[in-house]
Structure 1
Amino acid sequence: MRLWATTAGLQILNHLTPESVGIRQYETIRRHTSGMNPCLALADVGNAGSVDPADYWRRDVQTLLRHANNIVCWSNDIQSLGVEARQPGQFRNMVVIYAGGGKSLQEGVDRTRARVQSEIDDFVALSEKVVRDAEPRLRGFVEGMKYWIRGYQDWVLKDTQRYAAQFAAVDADDRMYSV
């Protein structure tokens, strides 16, 4: 919660300054302001039971958590761009930061989408290694991460009205990712 509150304050400051933070600083801020960390931390309980702390803190498992968080956050930066760009005040997300570096908005979207796809590819490859010899609770935890990624995409497609207008004419397979 401290990281969330601290990075939320940093995000507010970022919106108030004429120059945006760099992409690496933004990634850290975004990772903690998204709310994904506490949700992902509970993904084990909803699936196969509490994962052992030694498994939870393994480097490869922490890397999977970071990939899952990045996938959802950066996908949201693309999917919410049209809505958030029309909000009052300065708004910055990964797409806008890339575009602000001398690229077009479309190039910012393309670069962000490529980063999301890379995170998905890395998540899939690493998750296959992690679950190969994992005990059931750790396998359930990894499944829970996958459910969160897919659940976010389903929420955008089927539940939230926030992005409905901008996606009304776009086929879901053209914009969604699968894990």
Structure 2
Amino acid sequence: MRNDASSRTLHRAVPRRGGMEWGRSMRSFAISALREPSFVGGRHQATDRVANESVEWARTFGLVDSGHRVHRLQRADAAGLAGRACPDGPVEGVRLLTDLISWLFVMDDACDEDGLGTDPGRLAPAIAALLDVLDRCGDPAAPPPTEAGPLGAALHDLCRRTRAQGRSALLLRFISQLREYLLALLWEAANRERQRVPGVTEYVQLRRHIGGVHPCLTLTDLASGRPPGPTRRADPALTALDLLAVDLICWCNDVFSYGKESRSDPDAHNLVTVIAQESGLDEADALRAAADRFNRGLAAYLDAEEALLASGDDGLHEPLASRRNWVRATYDWSIMAARYA
């Protein structure tokens, strides 16, 4: 196997300095090293109700079929994240967002903890079946998907409910972003099969898709009632801000989750791991480098947002608020998330 910067292997664990037990103190490290977003946080008043309804939704579609899986989904607290990311607006919007996050958690757990994501040969047919569901575009008259199992049935329901909002452009964007997420999972599985750690540039690009943040932002825009139109969406300044927001959400997640992921062999798909492998830094320095990357990104985000607000375009207030809420929500949710304990 090649052993260059773009194809390093997991056989070499991230070097640890001084026997540090980062897994036990990761949350404390993250809180001290990451710059806290200055945005005001909030929480939707229906969050607790939505939490119960979403777990029942997952049960109904068979996404969780045992006490262990139900408990795992409850600990993930999808509603806690959605309620912070979408603190205002109709309950139906928060519920749809919560169900999407729950679906993403179940899909990620199937790949990360249940073994599906280590074997591209097993994962590819599952992804193909889910892509077939997306091709239906939530058509309520389409026959129920069967080959994709519970994940496919629940995915079709998400698309159907998004379609029912009557915004075709957002529906197509949502479906396209989910398609990118699913295809990125194959990239992740291929890396795991080959024990390959991607380079930092490659990882940053693909992390935007395996994080599933893009479709979440789309549903948050939908819930706001004033989503940006196609012309505004194509504005390079807003597009760049979108990518910054997605990066910040993913990198914050990587730092907070690294402790859990590093209890055994480090997962290739974490910013800390790829920085360590590409730069040769030990674990402590790689963690600080990842935190510094987040902090620089947050500073760049604040500058970019200020420039957009200075344009005087009132139509930008809603989408900018959604992205601020998501960055803040990820930070606050990560501090308490049992998913990374």
Quote the Cα distance in structure 1 between the aligned partners of 2:219 and 2:235: 16
Evaluate the alpha carbon distance shift between residue 14 and residue 40 of structure 1 in structure 2; reply closer, same or farther with a 3 A threshold.
same
Relative to the length of structure 2, the TM-score reads 0.45
Instruction: Give the Cα–Cα distance (whole angstroms) in 2 for the partners of residues 68 and 126 of structure 1.
Output: 11
Bigger radius of gyration among the two: 2
What is the one-letter code of the residue matched to 2:267? F
Pair 1:109-2:282 in alignment? no
**Aligned residues between the structures:** 162
Q: How far, CA to CA, are the matches of 1:137 and 1:2 in structure 2?
A: 28
Equivalents in 1 of 2:340, 2:321: separation in Å? 27
Q: Distance in 1 between matches of 2:319 and 2:191?
A: 34
3-state SS, counterpart of residue 45 of structure 1: helix
Of 181, 185, 190, the match for 1:4:
181
Stretches of structure 1 that go unaligned for 5 or more consecutive residues are: 165-179
1:136 paired to 2:314: yes
Is 1:37 the counterpart of 2:214? The answer is: yes
- Shift in alpha-carbon separation, 1:42–1:138, aligned structure 2, 3 A: farther
Distance 2:219 2:308 in 1: 18
**Aligned-pair distance for 1:18?**
3.0
Provide the residue aligned with 1:23 in structure 2: 200
Tell me the TM-score normalized by structure 1: 0.83
Instruction: State the AA in 2 paired with 1:106.
Output: A
- Aligned residue runs from structure 1 range 46-57, under 5 A: 46-47=223-224, 49-57=226-234
Q: 2:340 aligns with which of 158, 163, 174?
A: 163
Is 1:126–2:295 an aligned residue pair?
no
Contact 1:48 1:141 in 2 (8 A): no
Question: Taking every aligned residue pair, what percent have the same amino acid on both sides?
Answer: 23
Q: Which amino acid aligns with 1:147?
A: N
Quick one: distance in 2 between partners of 1:51 and 1:18? 41
1:81 equivalenced with 2:258 (yes/no): yes
TM-aligned CA distance change 1:4 to 1:50, over 3 Å? same
Q: Residues of 1 paired with 2:263 and 2:212: CA distance?
A: 23
The 3 A distance-change label for structure 1 pair 143 and 48 is farther
Q: Any stretches of 5+ residues in structure 2 without a counterpart?
A: 1-177
Please say if 1:98 is aligned against 2:300. Answer: no
* Amino acid corresponding to residue 7 of structure 1 in structure 2: A
- Cα 1:12–1:90 change in 2 (3 A) is farther
Q: C-alpha displacement at 1:134, in angstroms?
A: 4.1
1:43 is paired with a residue whose SS is: helix
CA distance in 2, matches of 1:85, 1:11: 17
